[in-house]
Chains A and B, each alone.
Chain A
């Protein structure tokens, strides 16, 4: 066992941290974007230029060839420097949820056509699995894909799709053989200009408002047969296997960075704020909160790094990823709550980013598999239960 970052990793962390602090934070701290629910294009362009959007992809497709660990370190540092959660979320949906499946499962042609554009940020990517009637129970999706000649015809709708309103390309999951249940569901690469594809509506939401979300529709949407991603009927299973672990480590890495920034904010405030004649940091009730926040951060980082490390070793991190997802997301919510509590009234108003952080945090226990789904996965693994048995 060894828990030291390499010199290169420390440098990477510092570089991304400074980049975020100097280039991204000036935009991210502007609460207007959040209030209006606007995507911060200037951030996106800067991230593209920095090479972040294709960070883990091979260099031949315009990426940086970074390991999962380096990707996680970069994401953590990015949020630590002050990047808003919405920007981090859009980055995750783009690079991890859309990019990684194309990189890992795509043909050479698909990679050349799509991955390079995703890596450079020329195109924005998204991932469309969830439907109005199928969230945690992903295998019950209804969107159908039927083969007609050299095309697939998709019909259905997709819900809560991150980057939906601004995306150029989506990995879309649809049923290809209803009888085979989870083993009859495939993945497709769909461009926004394909006939029959459209944004049904943009969704207004509680937090992560700088990351636009939409409901998408597919009405006899025509997808060329070469845009089938991965094996027919097994695309869902393959994509799920792939992204669950990536998603559960990489999408939460920014949260660990945000927690550190949050703790710093809380300490700064508690040192300045005087009540009853002394800085509130001198009260044990405040000290105890700060201590708990530190413990949470150290634990969360360790869990995220472990999944990343295991993935880099080619190990399966199925259980570890669920543990990380569940624990980290619960801590994110708790931390955000305590941060507001420490700042009191100032934590409740928009001017201080703590209010936004509180709303942003709430997504973490829902997106990417709810806490309840994670617990169910863990319980089944530990107890050797089948899904059908659970009451």
Chain B
């Protein structure tokens, strides 16, 4: 057992936190208001070496461990949840898929350029009528003369409007259900491929989301990522990784709320005292401290388990995601409450955090789906013997 980061790891995390605070956070309000992804942020993150930091050095990575990466993720999400979400969809969904399942050629072509922030990628699984129920997707890839012809519509695609490359999940043998889906790598300029207008959303407005349309998109066999008909299972593995990333998203937002509440409650006075002195306020803040701390512990553990291929990695990722996302919406709500009227206006950071937090309970598997996955696991593990 070792619950601590090494000194070197701590230095990396602190330096990164510093960068996020100085470079990324000052743009967060504008990114949200203008509904624009910040390429300046991406550039700064690339310069730091954060993009693809967990990857092997031959692809431009730094080979850092997953718990350290998640600690960095929390700092970025704390600074700007929108930027984090886009970068995370880029790295932890799109990039991780390529890194884990891509061919050498795909990896060499994409990963080093990603670490330099030259483009961002997106992953398309969800469709208008298939979200949690992934096997219900309708997008099809039909093989004709050694080529795949892909047709379908994807939605809620994070980075849809800004991505250059897409991972698309499609049915190659529909009758085989989960064992009949394949992942494809598709460039945005491929004929028949197009993206919709950015959606207007409740929160994370600086992370553009859209529909993606595939109309007789033709790709070679070399566009297949990993194995044919294994796409669903590959996606599930990537989601496990991605879920830990969403847990970090939520934890970053919750910690930002805590930060704001500490500041506000120790300055604001009511009835002759700083409001921090009232238990009605400071107990809420104590809870924020406790719950963000617990979430971090679950995240580190899940990240470690994933990195070391532990049999409970998937369950721990779901646990971290479920716990972190639900505590974050509660904390964000309490943070607005502590700020009173000020918490409700956009000038104050907590107003944005409140809107941003909600996504955590929905993206990459709703809370309800996490609970079903966990129950299945519990039935198996605790129901034995």
Task: Give me the interface of A with B, judged by CB distance under 8 Å.
Answer: 1-5, 69, 260, 263-264, 267-268, 271, 281, 284, 286-288, 290-295, 298-299, 302-303, 305-306, 309-310, 313, 320, 323, 326-327, 372, 374-376, 378-385, 389-391
Interface stretch of the complex, out of B46-54, B220-228, B297-305: B297-305
Complex: chain A residue closest to B274, CB-CB: A389
Q: Are A69 and B1 in contact (CB under 8 A)?
A: yes
B277 within 8 A of A: yes
Smallest CB-CB separation from B295: which chain A residue? A299
Q: Answer whether A323 and B379 are a contact pair too, CB < 8 Å, given A5-B1, A295-B322, A302-B301.
A: no
B370 touching A291, Cβ below 8 Å: yes
Q: A323 near B372 (CB under 8 angstroms)?
A: no
Cβ contact within 8 Å between B316 and A298: yes
- Complexed CA–CA distance, A198 and B378 (Å): 49
Contacts of B2 in A (CB 8 A): 1-3, 309
A291 to chain B: which residues have CB within 8 Å?
A: 322, 370-375, 378
Chain A residues near B376 (CB-CB < 8 A)? 287
Provide 9 A-B residue pairs closer than 8 Å at the C-beta atoms, listed in order of the A residue. A263-B382, A294-B315, A295-B374, A299-B297, A302-B298, A310-B3, A326-B290, A375-B290, A384-B266
| Contact A290:B283 (CB < 8 A) given known A298-B301, A302-B301 | no
State how many angstroms separate the Cβ of B2 from the closest Cβ of chain A: 4
Smallest beta-carbon distance A290→chain B, Å: 5
B189 at interface, CB cutoff 8 A: no
A152 to nearest B CB, angstroms? Answer: 38
Residues on A with beta carbons closer than 8 Å to the beta carbon of B319: 294-295, 298-299
A321–chain B nearest beta-carbon distance, Å: 12
Taking a contact as CB atoms under 8 Å apart, the answer to whether A1 and B300 are in contact is yes
- Smallest CB-CB separation from A292: which chain B residue? B371
**Residues in chain B near residue A376, CB distance under 8 A:** 279, 282-283, 286
Instruction: Please name all residues of chain B whose beta carbon is closer than 8 Å to the beta carbon of A380 when the two chains form the complex.
Output: 282
Q: B66 — nearest CB in chain A belongs to which residue?
A: A1
Partner of B371, one of A281, A287, A299, A375: A287
Residues 287 to 334 of chain B near chain A (Cβ within 8 Å): 287, 289-290, 293-294, 297-298, 300-301, 304-305, 308, 315-316, 319, 322-323
Residue picked from A293, A302, A376, most chain B C-beta under 10 Å: A302
Question: Interface on chain B toward A: helix, strand, loop, or mixed SS?
Answer: helix
Residues on the B chain within 8 Å of A382, using CB: 258, 262, 285-286, 289
B315, B370, B379: most-surrounded residue (chain A CB, <10 A) = B379
B262 pairs with A294, CB closer than 8 A: no
Q: Tell me the dominant secondary structure on chain A's binding face.
A: helix
Contact across chains for B285 and A379 when beta carbons are under 8 A apart: yes
**Is the Cβ of A375 less than 8 Å from the Cβ of B283?**
yes
Rounded to whole angstroms, the CA-CA distance of A298 and B372 in the bound complex is: 17
Is the CB–CB distance between B3 and A379 below 8 Å? no
Given contacts A291-B372, A378-B286, A382-B286, A299 and B294 within 8 Å (CB-CB): yes
Cα–Cα, bound, A337→B110 (Å): 52
Give Cα distance in the complex from A327 to B289, angstroms. Answer: 11
Q: Which of B331-385 contact A (CB under 8 A)?
A: 368, 370-379, 382-383
State in angstroms the CA–CA spacing of A293 and B294 once bound together: 15
Taken together as a complex, chains A and B put the C-alpha atoms of A310 and B83 apart, in Å, by 35
- Interface residue? B233 (CB, 8 A): no
Across-interface contacts of A389 in B (CB, < 8 A): 273-274, 277
Q: Which residues of B contact A69 (CB under 8 A)?
A: 1
B12 to chain A, nearest CB (A): 13
Q: Collect the chain B residues with CB atoms within 8 Å of residue A313's CB.
A: 4
Whether B265 is near chain A, meaning CB under 8 Å from some CB there, is yes
By a CB distance below 8 angstroms, the chain A residues around B323 are 295, 299
Chain A residues closer than 8 Å to B373, beta-carbon distance: 291
B276 within 8 A of A: yes
Shortest Cβ distance from residue A365 to the other chain B in the assembled complex, whole angstroms: 13
Number of interface residues of B (CB under 8 A): 51
Which B residue's beta carbon lies closest to that of A260? B382
Contact B305 A3 (CB under 8 A): yes
For A2, list chain B residues within 8 Å (CB).
1-2, 304
- Is residue B39 within 8 Å, beta carbon to beta carbon, of the partner chain? no
B273 CB to nearest A CB, Å: 6
Chain B residue nearest to A298 (CB atoms) is B319
CA distance A344 to B50 in the complex (A): 51
The 5 closest A-B pairs by CB, nearest first: A287-B375, A291-B374, A379-B282, A291-B371, A378-B286
Contact A305 B1, CB 8 Å, known A1-B304, A298-B319, A378-B289: yes
The smallest beta-carbon distance between A306 and chain B, in angstroms, is 5
A2, A3, A267, A326: residue with the most chain B Cβ atoms closer than 10 Å: A3
**Contacts A1-B67, A264-B382, A295-B322 hold; do A390 and B277 have CB atoms under 8 A apart?**
yes
Residue of A whose beta carbon sits closest to that of B370: A291
In the bound complex, residues from chain B placing their C-beta under 8 Å from that of A305 are: 1, 3
In the complex, what distance in Å separates the CA atom of A65 from the CA atom of B319?
Answer: 35
Any A CB within 8 A of the CB of B65: yes
**Does B383 lie within 8 Å of A383, measured CB to CB?**
no
A391 touches B277 (CB 8 A): yes
Contact flags B1-25 to A (C-beta < 8 A → 1, else 0) = 1111100000000000000000000
Residue in A264, A323, A390 whose beta carbon sits within 8 Å of that of B282 in the complex: A390
Extra 20 A-B pairs, beta carbons < 8 Å, given A267-B379, A288-B375: A3-B2, A3-B301, A4-B308, A267-B382, A268-B383, A288-B371, A291-B378, A293-B378, A294-B315, A298-B316, A374-B286, A376-B283, A379-B279, A379-B282, A380-B282, A383-B262, A383-B282, A384-B266, A385-B282, A391-B279
User: Which B168-209 residues sit within 8 Å CB-CB of chain A?
Assistant: none
CB distance from B235 to the nearest CB of A (A): 21
In the complex, chain B residues whose CB is within 8 Å of the CB of A384: 266
Given contacts A5-B1, A291-B370, A292-B371, contact A263 B378 (CB under 8 A): yes
- Known pairs A2-B304, A3-B301, A383-B266; A290 contacts B294 (CB<8 A): no
Cβ–Cβ contact A303 & B297, under 8 A: yes
**Most chain A CB within a 10 A radius of its CB, from B262, B308, B374, B382:** B382
Q: Contacts of B375 on A, CB cut-off 8 Å?
A: 281, 286-288, 290-291
In the bound complex, what is the Cα–Cα distance between A246 and B379 (angstroms)? 34
The reply to whether A390 and B382 form a contact with Cβ atoms under 8 Å apart is no
* Contact A294 B297, CB 8 Å, known A69-B1, A271-B383, A284-B372: no
In whole angstroms, how far apart are the Cα atoms of A260 and B385 in the complex? Answer: 14
Given contacts A291-B322, A309-B1, A378-B286, whether A267 and B297 have CB atoms under 8 Å apart is: no
> Distance in Å from the Cβ of A310 to the closest Cβ of chain B?
7
Contacts of A295 in B (CB 8 A): 298, 319, 322-323, 374
Which residues of B have CB within 8 Å of A374? 286
Shortest Cβ gap from B283 to chain A (Å): 5
**Given A3, A287, A375, A391, which contacts B287 in the complex, CB threshold below 8 Å?**
A375
Closest to A330 in B: B290
CB neighbours (8 Å) of B316 from chain A are 298
Judging by beta carbons under 8 Å apart, are A294 and B377 in contact? Answer: yes
Q: Collect the chain A residues with CB atoms within 8 Å of residue B285's CB.
A: 379, 382-383
Output the nearest chain A residue to B303 by Cβ-Cβ distance. A1
